[in-house]
Each structure stands twice: as structure tokens, then as C-alpha cells.
A and B are shown apart, each in its own frame.
Chain A
Amino acid sequence: MEEMLAIFIASTLRLAMPLMLAASGELVSERAGVLNLSLEGMMLTAAFFGALGSWASGNPYLGVACAILASVVVSAVQAWLSVNLRANQLVVGIGFNILALGATTLLYRIIFGGLSREEIPGLPKLAVKGLSDLPFAGTAFFQQSVIVYVGLALIVLIWAMLNHTSFGLSVRAVGDEPRSADKAGIPVAATRWKAVLITGFMAGFAGAFISIADIHTFTENMTNGAGYLALAAVIFGGWNIGRTVAACLLFGAATALQFQLPAMGINVPTAFLLMLPYLLALLAVAGVVGRLEPPTSLTLPFQRGK
């Protein structure tokens, strides 16, 4: 039983990690008023280029850097289209997801050929001295790849940034009332740009986690909807970072349960567990579980004087 619990916690964390990274990044952008449906595409791009960089250089850390760089480039184009060109954010997002799926698959086939499952150099697991030996939860919590610790630190940093710095204040203001922010002298476009780039950075981390830290290879469409799940987590988390992270853990747990419950002899349809995150997010946007309000100007481009 204890062993099962440990496995459950470990797999929950493993499954929730990329969601947490991507969702907390996306949260910044959404608080600034830009919705990146392209989160999935950013993550997939990052997963691919992370794997590629790691494989080509033999150095997983370089791989992570490549992942982040690739994802940030995608987010820069997204920012340019959403902020400067005032394009429909949803359509652009869908376009990026199609493009990312096509491009990564294409490049993968061209570079790695066929269906090779070549192992790439992955990140080592780092045990926290003393704590990793703790009974049953020790390995789950304190023997993780470096990226997990860095990622968790980044999430805390985002929380602090959003709630305790002037930049965070600007982000929230341009997402709610860009006109008021503009009057207060906040550069709306620049603030939104930075927020989207932060999303790209975090999505890059998330993608790198999947390919370099977790699976140690790239497979076609390997994010498999994790980006959308992260978006759902932001919605279910009510655009609040603590609740968003909790939502990611919940979604991770629901996914982990599909392997655990049968082993425990409990018969819950896997599909239902997988569906749960989306159902919860639906209930959340319908206001059934407490009224959640998205940032007032989410997806609305800003133009002075209009």
C-alpha cells in the first residue's frame, strides 16, 4: 500500500510537472490579456528542439537551452501577431498548433528518420541529501531531475513577480483595464510582449521536461494535449497561481489514477478520469463551482484611442 502511494505521488508529480510549468507561464500572459492557444505548439516545439539539441550536443543542459530558445521564438511571433498586428489570438493559436505538429513531425522524420526511438542524453536525477531517504515519499519528492527543482523555483518566482512587484501590477492592469493602465503611464504593448515571452520561456521548460527529463526521447505529437490541459488548469484555477498549480496537481493525479485504480482493483473508466480535467474546467467557466472571472480584456487587442 505504502509503495503504491509512493508510486502514485511520484507519477502525479511527474505528470503534473509540465502542466505546472506551462500553466504558470500561460497564467502570466493571460493576466496580461493574451490567450495563447498555441501553448500546446510551444511545448511540442520545445520538446522537439530540446531533444534535438541534447542529441546533437550530447549535453542535456544545452538541450534545455535549445528547448527554451525555440519556444521563446514561437512566443515572440505569437506576441507580434496578437499585440502588434492585433490578430485573432485563437485563430493564430490554432494555426501555431497545426504548424508545430507538422513541423516537428516533419523535422523528426527528416533528421531522425522513420520511426527510430533513439534515446537522447537525459537529465540526471538529483537527490536532496537526507530528504530523499525519507520513507515512502522521499523518492517521490526529493529524487527528481534538476529541472523539477528549477521549475518549482521559477513558479515561486512567478508568484512573487505577479503579486509583489510593479511589473506584476502592470501585467494585471493591462489584462484587466488596458485603457486605465495606459493612462497611468504603463506601456501596454511592451508589458504584453514580456508576458507572452514569459509564457514561451515556461512552455520551453515544460517541453524540455517532457522530452529530456522524463521520456528521454522525442515522439511525434508527444505533448499529446498537455498544452490544452494546462490551459484548462488556468481556467479551473480561476487565473490565480496557487489554484492553478493545485489544478495541475489534481489533473496529474487524475491521469495517474488511471494506472493506479485498476491495480487497486477499483474500476473507474480511464476515459472518465482523463475527461475529468475538462469537465471541471467546463463547470468552472459555467460558474458552477464559484464564479470565476477571466481577466477582463482577455483576447482583446488594445489600441489607444479606440
Chain B
Amino acid sequence: MTSSTGSLLSLENLGKRFGSLQALEGVSLDVRPGSVQCLLGENGAGKSTLCNLIFGVYEPTVGSMTFDGAAWAPESPAVALERGIAMVHQHFSLVPRMTVVENLMLGQVKGVLKRHEFGARIRDIAESFGFTLDPDSVVGELSVGERQRAEIVKCLMRDPKLLVLDEPTAVLPPGEIGALLDICRRVADSGRAVILVTHKLAEIAKVADRVAVLRTGRLVADESMQDADMGELVHAMVGRELKPLDVALADDGEAPAASRPLVTPPKLALVCDGLTVHDRHGAVRLDNFTLEIKPGEIVGLAGVEGNGQSELGMVLAGLLRPTEGHFFIGGNDLTHAGAAAVTAAGGGIVPEDRHAVACVTAMSVAENMFLNKLDRFTRFGLLQRRTLNAAAQMQMREFDVRAASPEVAFSGLSGGNQQKAVLARELTLDPLVALVAAQPTRGLDVSAVEAVYRQIRAAARRGVGVLLISSELDELIAVADRITVLYRGRLVGERPAEMSERGAIGALMSGQVA
């Protein structure tokens, strides 16, 4: 693991700490010129932190780097650019209302603009890496892939030695991924080094020379692509340590799913029928998604992030209209009915983005816990605060939401307590027919995770149909009755929720059709 003579960039025992959070720890890695180094890992595994250290956005807490034969400690991205490291960020830094050539000239030229000359250079560079790019098209009208190519050209114009791409495939519709990987290959073939950050497994096989896997800030695998086994990589990436906790949780003394005493309302809890979502650029994000969930059933939806889960969550929350298809909760067609109707029909929603969608952080805990039931506490238009706070207090006890009082600001709660409060709100809907929980345990500590699982299971026992969307395979195995897998917006398979199926499910998640 020590730096070898042939490497362009080498990292030695690199660590980064943000306050109490250890984002990276003991990472050592060598990147060789002319190679594509893939960096795998889930959200929050530390991939972006690592890139930002290399690119000079942050300084490492411990460890050292060498680049191009000298010690490397860039104080800013500008220095990194100057010295030959360019980075394509996940969020493009292009101005949508300007043309490609204008964007690329921004900050690079002085005085009168010579669009033609500069445009010709753009064309040349694009062509030399085997793709085309129209310099005069307006960025806002380009597809995501084309925008990304513009970003790449912007980097290549500076003739970098190392090109870092942070999650470049996350934003791409499936059809455009191949082209991007070809470009990566060509850039590497021109003698440059490429670091490709991704959590999509199937793609890396085509392009990577080496692959490293980060999990919770540590490097858990670093091998050459020829030696790598896909199943093991998935495991290295998503597999938490097999804690006895999970197994225990999977069977916390309750009857197994099949023999659960169903409350058996005659209708299915949740039905998705051919849901299809196209984004602004016409790319398919969710493709003919069809699923039926019976009352009392917990269906897990596995998949690496960015494969259509967010879109599905927004559709089922009533906040996004699908391009095609329908969905029903308790037999009611709610496709075009909006969020209020979803709530009224008994659809409990625990959204993926808690802060943006689930709560108003500046308001009190009590207000947030009853945000959808305020009418219940209203007399003659006035809010009965005392009753509201008392009810909140009770529910906080029931759902173990820990806060000094129901009147403190929601933002003052820990992530776990916030999530428990949101869950409490959605689970106490009357009636509650179906629960859609998207990544409900992300960023929570172990005890909070356990509490969330317990509540979800209890709801299912009461006859609620649950759709659990998660990228954590172990979570799904522990909680769900069966697991379906979403890949590139489509359902690609279904397996029983059993430990022995992890390999098969992992393969489905990585795009290897079982």
C-alpha cells in the first residue's frame, strides 16, 4: 500500500474530521497515469470528501499526499487547477442560459469575445477524445450528458494531468453512460489519470483499471479490476457488518409475515400500475413501474441510489405527476389528486429528504408532528395550543421522540428524533392504509434505527401495506417480507428477504440480470 514510483498521485494514511464526524480515516491509495481509478462507495462513505481533499477544497486532518513527484497540499481549487488537477463536480457549474462557448470562455478570456476561434478549439478537443459538442448551443437546452461533456471539455482545455469525476453517472440517464465511459477511457489513454467516483457497479467493469471501495470513511477494498469480483464489491460497498442485531430484529418474537393475522380489508393497500416518469429533458427516470402491496405486507425496494427511487417517492407523495401510469391507495386512484388527497386516502409518507419535504424546521416539534392534522386542534379558527402540546407530548412518549418539550424548535432535535417524529405523524393517520418510507434510517444512530424498524413492523401488523425504499440491503432483509429491485428506473427482479439471497439481490442491484 505504500507509494510506488509509477504513481501520479499517492495518498498516505489520509484522514479528515468534521467536528465529531470522522469522514475519512487512514486512506492510502495510488493513482497511476494512463489509468482509470474507480472509487466506489455509498452515500456518506467519504468519496466526495476524498475528492475535495485532492482538489484542495478541504485540508486533511492527518496524512499526506504527493502529486506529480512533489508533496501535494493545495490551499485552494484554483491552485489544484493551476497544477494540473481538474474536477467535474456532481452539480455542474455551468450557466444554463449561456451557450457552451460562452460558458467555457467565462473567466478564461479578457476583452472582446472571439466566439468562433474559441468554438473551434472546443470542437477540436471534443473530437480528439472521440465525441462531438456544439459550442453554440445553449446549455439549458442540452441533455444532462451533453452538459457533462461540456464540463469535461472545460476541464480538458486546461490540459490536466489528473481528471476527477465526482459521481458522473449518477445524473445520467442509462443511455448516455456508455458514451461517458468511452470518454474516460480515451482521457486515460492520452496519458492522463482519471478518478471516477461512482456507486453504480455494472458500469465500472467496462472502464476501470483499478477499483477502490470506501465504506464509512475507510478504504475496505483496493484491487485491480481483473482480480475484482462483482458480488464481493457489492458486499464491500453496501454490506454492513453482519450484526446479530439485524438478525434479531428480523424476528423480534412476532409471527412471520405469512401467518400474520391480517385485518384483511378487501382492497390492496398500494398499487402502482405502469408508473413512468420522464425528466425535463425527456430522459426516462422511472420506467413502467408496477407493484402491488397487500395490507400487512412490507415490500422492500432495493437499488443503488439514483435509479428512480426519488422520483417514485415524489410520485407516491403526490408531489410529482407521472408521465404515464397510475397509483392507487386502498383502491383510490390518486395519480393526479395531489398530496392532500394522498393523506386523506390514508397514504403515510416518510420522504427521503426530511428537511425539504417532511418538516418545517423553524416551527415547534408539536406543530410539525401535527402539521397534517391541525384542524383537529382548531376551535373557531384558533389553535388550541395546550391541547396540541399535550397530544404531542403523548405521542412523543409513544414514539420515543426525545425533546425538552413539544414547544422547542424542530431543528433542535437530533436526526433520529426528527425522523421518529415524522414517522409518528404519518403512522397516526386515520385511516392509515399504506406507508411509503424512503431511506427512513439514513443518518440515524443504531437505537433510532431500531425504533424506526419496530414502528414500521408494528404498522404492518395493524394491516398497513408498507413500501420500504432503501439502498441498504441489510435493512431490507431485516424488515421486509420480500424485496424487489429497481435498476435504471425499472423493476428488474424480486427475491425473498433472506440472508442467503444477498448475493442475488446485490447482483440485481448492480445491473446483472439474474
11 A-B pairs within 8 Å (CB atoms) are namely A164-B113, A166-B109, A166-B113, A169-B98, A172-B95, A172-B102, A173-B95, A179-B93, A181-B106, A184-B107, A184-B108
Instruction: Give complex CA distance A165, B96 in Å.
Output: 19
Q: A180-B93, A181-B106, A184-B93 are in contact. Are A165 and B98 (CB under 8 A)?
A: no
CA–CA, A169 to B78, complex, Å? 20
Interface residue ranges of B46-92 to A (CB < 8 Å)? 77-78, 92
Please report B residues at the A interface, Cβ cutoff 8 Å. 77-78, 92-98, 102, 105-113
Q: For chain B, what secondary structure do more than half of its interface residues adopt (helix, strand, loop), or is it mixed?
A: loop
Within the complex, the shortest CB–CB distance from A181 to chain B, in Å, comes to 7
Residues of A within 8 A of B97 (CB): 172, 176, 293, 296
Instruction: Please report the C-alpha to C-alpha distance between residue A184 and residue B78 in the assembled complex, in whole angstroms.
Output: 9
Cβ of A306 under 8 Å from chain B: no
Measuring CB to CB, which residues of chain A are less than 8 angstroms from any residue of chain B? 164-166, 168-170, 172-173, 176-177, 179-181, 183-186, 293, 296
Smallest beta-carbon distance A166→chain B, Å? 5
Which of B77, B93, B113 is in CB contact (< 8 Å) with A169? Answer: B113
Q: Report chain B residues within 8 Å CB of A169.
A: 98, 102, 105-106, 113
The residue among A183, A184, A293 with the most chain B CB atoms within 10 A of its own CB is: A184
The answer for the CA separation of A116 and B102 in the assembled complex, in Å, is 54
**B112 close to A165 (CB less than 8 A):** yes
A176–B106 alpha-carbon span in the complex (Å): 13
Closest residue of A by beta carbon distance from B154: A184
Chain B contacts of A165 at CB under 8 A?
111-113
Give min CB distance, A105 to chain B, whole Å: 41
Chain B contacts for A173, CB-based, 8 A:
95, 98, 106
**Does B93 lie within 8 Å of A183, measured CB to CB?**
yes
Task: For the complex of A and B, list the 3 residue pairs with the smallest distance between their C-beta atoms, beginning with the closest.
Answer: A184-B107, A180-B93, A185-B107
A186 and B95 contact, CB distance less than 8 A = no
A179 (CB) vs chain B CBs: closest residue: B93
Question: For residue B112, which residues in chain A have a CB less than 8 angstroms away from its CB?
Answer: 164-166
CA A110 to CA B112, docked complex, whole Å: 48
* Nearest-Cβ distance from residue B376 to partner chain A, whole angstroms: 37
Give Cα A223 to B110, complex, Å.
38
Q: Please, which residues of chain B bring their CB within 8 A of the CB of A164?
A: 112-113
Task: Please report the C-alpha to C-alpha distance between residue A45 and residue B96 in the assembled complex, in whole angstroms.
Answer: 37
A225 → chain B closest CB, angstroms: 30
Q: How far is the CB of A61 from chain B (nearest CB, A)?
A: 30
Cross-chain contact A166 with B110 (CB below 8 angstroms): yes
Q: How far is the CA of A186 from the CA of B107 in the complex (A)?
A: 6
* Contact between chains at B113 and A186 (CB < 8 Å): no
State in angstroms the CA–CA spacing of A166 and B107 once bound together: 8
14 additional A-B residue pairs with CB within 8 Å, beyond A165-B112, A184-B106, A296-B96 = A164-B112, A168-B113, A169-B105, A176-B97, A176-B98, A177-B93, A177-B94, A177-B96, A179-B93, A180-B93, A181-B106, A185-B78, A185-B107, A296-B97
* Partner pick for B95 among A166, A168, A181, A293, CB 8 A cutoff: A181
